Structures are given as structure tokens and as C-alpha cells.
Structure 1
Amino acid sequence: MLVASDKLKGAELMGIDQSVGSIHDLLFDDESWVIRHLVVDTGHWLPGRQILLPPPKIDASDWPAGTAKVPLTSQQVKDSPPVESDQPVSRQMEIQLYQHYDVPYYWGPAGATLAGSGYSPMPLGVGLMPVDPNIADQPERTHLRSVNEVVGYYIQGTDEEVGHVEGMLIDDTNWSIQQLIVDTRNWWPGKQVLLDREHVAGISWADATVSVSLSRDSIRSASEYDPTST
């Protein structure tokens, strides 16, 4: 099922004994375009706390109703490894999280056990930042990016700017990002179109820009986004 990112954000996660929070953000791998972590705000029962939750822990969902179930107790969530929202997610942190939630890693041989569920594993070593042997104590860093961050980025076509990222369509069976929702209001008022992720040529984090391999004319013929369909 394809779900718009704005429909996922804000969804309440119902645990075994109580609500454990709501989805605040989604972290995706900018190489594989797969959601790797849900950023969960624990709300009033655990004030000032956010946790990372592996998407395979979603047991059942009713996204139109804004709810999903997770087979977790509030104590399991409370005991989740702490996450600093302003710090990059290291591989060591991911290992601790996946061990805590008893979920196979999405990278390396263990990640292959997730292939049957459609959740894409990552080969060992892919997604790690290059290591400089001249610098000691470097953390292993993954290519994880925030959906909240990318929403609002400019879309640069092959000839000129064509709008900005309004959201993403995500397949909730394997948590892959399938399409970008693009708002073209600056030159084509009232239109939002869908661009397949295969057309993304690159992302410049410094310039807050997503480059695509399509011209403005090509984007005119792209499928129009209907919010009621997701």
C-alpha cells in the first residue's frame, strides 16, 4: 500500500499496554531510498523523549485513521537506547537499537532474513561514510536522512527549477520510497505531480536541492497527485 509521508507522520502507535507515542519523522537511506527508522515522539507519558523504531516492528496499521499497532510494552519503549536528535545515527547506535527490539539487521548476512518480508537488506559496508585512517576514533556513519528535512527542498530539472518537494509516497510493505510529491505552484499554480524516485539524479544537502533527470516539459506530463488516493 502506498502511503503519503504526511499521513504517516502523526500516526499514533498503540503498544501492548498503552499508546507509546506518535510518528514524528522518518529516516531514509539516501542510497537505497528505504525508510530505516521511525522517529517516535513518546508524548505525555515520557515527556521530552524521542526514540527510533525499526519499521518492521509495525504489526498492523490503519493509516487513514492515523493509528498503527506495535507488539511492544511501554517499558520496552522506555528502555530503548537513547537517541540525540541533533546527532547523526551511527552504526553502533543502530546495532543497539536492533538488538533491543530483536529485529535482524538490514545490512550484512543477518539482513538477508528480512528479504522474504520485502524489507530490503543492505550489504555489509554499504552506507558507511569513508574512513580517514589519519583520524582516530571516527564513528561509522550511515546515509540516513530526515524526510522532514527534505520536504521543502527545491526540485531542479534538467533545464530549470520545477518546484519543491511536498512529500513522498512510501510502500508500507517494504518501506521503500516510490515517488516524490512535487508542488509546482511557482510556475504551474494548483498542481502537484508525482515523480518516480528513479528520476532523482542527486540530492545536494548544502543547497537544499533535489536534482531530477527531467525537463519542465516532461514534468508537465507527469501524473497528478490526488491526496485522497493515499
Structure 2
Amino acid sequence: MLYLASALENYNIQAVDGELGKVKDLYFDDNKWTIRYLVADTRKWLPGKKVVVSPSGVEMINTEEKVIHVKNKKEDIRDNATLEEKQEFSYDKEVELSDTFGWKQYWSGEFLWGGYLTPLDPMEEPVRTAEPAGTEEPPINDNVHGSNHKLRSIENIKGEFQHGVVHGDNGKIGYIKDILIDDETWRIRYFIVDTSEWSTNVRVLISPDWLQSIDWVDKDFYIDLKLESIEEGPNYEKDREVTKELEEKIYEKYRKEPYWK
């Protein structure tokens, strides 16, 4: 199952003893393209502050009631997982959060979540020496992302007013309208790219694994696909379920190596 980033922003974050607030933003790392923190809107009780929660601190997500349940108490999160509104994460702060709440140190280990495949793998489970068949992620292009990750805001690259622009081999393809997130790993699986200004194919799915380069200042994302290929490729209908059949068509059309192989 894939979550829409915009849909998650309507969810409430519920601690074991009360509501923290709605999801305001999602922070991802630009190395492995995975959501690392949910940001709660706490302006009513913590003005000028932001509260963050790791997906490894999530107990369950109720999609019917639009509630994300976390494992900790509201006061503990408020006292220990709060940053200034414009404050960026430091390595020391991430280590501190991990030590305080038992959140997985995703940066320490060879897998997507450090020594684990998903944020909800039991902590007592031994570190895997090899990933089971069918779960391996595609290699990261270090020439694009570099060896060190940086946490970035989903809100800064998707939407009507702030968005990344996707460029192909022969010009602009479209802008990032929304993002699809894997519900088990929290990896960003696809950008939903609005191509209506440049193509009759109104929306398409583009994987971040296909990116060749990124200009984070101007929010320009470059891939090695031509506009003609996008024009002929599978269209993504709004709110459509992303089935394996659709994914196979996309990867086949764009001649990309499927991530599930």
C-alpha cells in the first residue's frame, strides 16, 4: 500500500495519553529517499516550536479515522522531541532522540533503517546479514546524493505553490504535485508529476531512483527521460490505486530496472 503525502497531512498524531496535533510536514533524507520524521502542528500549545516523531515510534495507523498512534506519552514527546520552528536537525539531536525514545538509528547500518528493513521491525530482532528475496532496494547513486544525508521537507518540493520541477532530456516534464510513500518502509516510492502544461498525459509517476541530478536551491530535478516518452507512458489517474500491474507497465515503458527484482 502507498500513502499520499498530502493525505497524511490530514491525520492526527495520537500519543498514548492524548492528541499531539495534526501532521504538518514530513522530513525525508535525500540519500535513501525515506521519511524519517513526522512533524506535528503544535502551535496551540507550543507556539514557535515543532514536535517530531520517527516512523519507528509509530504503533499503528488508522486510515479510516485518519489517526497515527505513537508509542510515547504526550509530555515526554513535548519535553524531549521539540525543536525551534526553523531549527534544523543535527547529528547529535538525532542521536539524542534515538537514545531517548528508542527510535531506530537509520543512518547506522546497511539497510533502509540501519540494521532493519522497516521502522517497525522488533528491536530485539538480530541484525540481518542479508535481505530476504524481493525486499532489496535499488542502489543509491552517490554521484547524485552524496555520502551524507540531509533532512529535507516534503512541503518544500510538492504542491501548487512550492514544488520541484522535473526536467527531462529535452526540457521540462512537469512539477511534483504529490508524493507516494511505501506504508511498510516509509520510502518515497513515486513523485506524482503534473505534466498538464507540457503534455496531454496529465499525471505520471516518476521514481526518485531515476534522478540524475538535483538542484536543491532552485528545486530542479533532472531525469534521463524525454518528454515524448512521458507522453506515451502510462497516465496516473487521481486517487488511483497503484497496482503491481501499473508499476510493471511504468517500468517497462521507461525501460527501468524494477526495484522489486
Amino acid at match of 2:156: E
State the secondary structure of the residue aligned to 1:72.
coil
Query: For 1:4-43, what per-residue CA distance to the aligned partner results, in whole angstroms no more than 9, with x for missing partners?
Result: 1101113101111111112111111111111111112224
Rounded Cα–Cα distance in structure 2 between residues aligned with 1:226 and 1:10: 21
Amino acid at match of 2:154: V
Match of 1:72 in 2: 72
Query: For 1:120-144, what per-residue CA distance to the aligned partner results, in whole angstroms no more than 9, with x for missing partners?
Result: 9xxxxx9x989xxxxxxxxxx8411
State the secondary structure of the residue aligned to 1:97.
helix
CA pair 112-156 structure 1, distance change in 2 beyond 3 A: closer
Match of 1:200 in 2: 211
CA pair 225-118 structure 1, distance change in 2 beyond 3 A: farther
Q: Tell me how large the CA RMSD over aligned residues is.
A: 2.7
Offset of 1:114 from its aligned partner? 2.6
Match of 2:195 in 1: 184
Equivalent residues in 2 for 1:1-230, closer than 5 Å: 1-63=1-63, 65-109=65-109, 112-115=114-117, 142-151=149-158, 152-188=163-199, 191-229=202-240
CA pair 46-82 structure 1, distance change in 2 beyond 3 A: closer
Rounded Cα–Cα distance in structure 1 between residues aligned with 2:210 and 2:198: 20
Rounded Cα–Cα distance in structure 2 between residues aligned with 1:222 and 1:65: 35
Query: For 1:188-211, what per-residue CA distance to the aligned partner results, in whole angstroms no more than 9, with x for missing partners?
Result: 368111112222212201222111
Rounded Cα–Cα distance in structure 2 between residues aligned with 1:155 and 1:63: 30
Rounded Cα–Cα distance in structure 1 between residues aligned with 2:211 and 2:181: 15
State the secondary structure of the residue aligned to 2:117.
helix
Give the count of matched residue pairs: 214
State the secondary structure of the residue aligned to 1:24.
strand
Segments of structure 1 that go 5 or more residues without pairing to the other structure are 121-125, 131-140
Amino acid at match of 1:143: K
Task: Check conservation: 1:7, 1:64, Cα contact below 8 A.
Answer: no
Rounded Cα–Cα distance in structure 2 between residues aligned with 1:118 and 1:75: 23
Rounded Cα–Cα distance in structure 2 between residues aligned with 1:146 and 1:178: 16
Identical aligned residues as a percent: 26
Rounded Cα–Cα distance in structure 1 between residues aligned with 2:15 and 2:49: 16
Task: Check conservation: 2:49, 2:85, Cα contact below 8 A.
Answer: no
Rounded Cα–Cα distance in structure 1 between residues aligned with 2:146 and 2:33: 17
Rounded Cα–Cα distance in structure 1 between residues aligned with 2:85 and 2:194: 28
Rounded Cα–Cα distance in structure 1 between residues aligned with 2:32 and 2:72: 28
Amino acid at match of 2:8: L
The alignment's TM-score, normalised by the length of structure 2, stands at: 0.73
Segments of structure 2 that go 5 or more residues without pairing to the other structure are 122-135, 137-141, 242-261
CA pair 63-203 structure 1, distance change in 2 beyond 3 A: farther
CA pair 197-22 structure 1, distance change in 2 beyond 3 A: same
Offset of 1:154 from its aligned partner? 1.1
